Amino acid sequence: MWYAIEGHDGQDVLTRRLEARQAHLARLLELRDAGRLLVAGPCPAVDAEDPGSAGFSGSIVIAEFESLEAARAWADADPYVAAGVYVRVDVRPFRRVLP
């Protein structure tokens, strides 16, 4: 089943986000290569493609997992969690309709 994972950034964490980015992306690439990633990306903190020093308000990942527990475990192991980028992570089932 698909699951939506939304990480919410804390205040002033852009430096930590940038430091943990490579490890975070490596995990996403593993999902992609396994055919389990629908979409992933950050949410700019301002209405701009490149938010600059404003940074990001969080990230969204929609991926396929065996269960809600497996999706939560994957989310909990994210390098952004370990680095203190995310102050909260929401994981919920997602039903793909389009495309």
Q: What is the predicted pLDDT for the residue at 73?
A: 98
Whether residue 99 has pLDDT greater than 90: no
10-40 tens-digit pLDDT: 999 999 999 999 999 999 999 999 999 999 9
Q: What is the predicted pLDDT for the residue at 78?
A: 98
Query: Three-state secondary structure along 11-44?
Result: CCCHHHHHHHHHHHHHHHHHHHHCCCEEEEEEEE
pTM for this prediction = 0.95
26-81 tens-digit pLDDT: 999 999 999 999 999 999 999 999 999 999 999 999 999 999 999 999 999 999 99
- The structure tokens listed for 38 are 């629908």
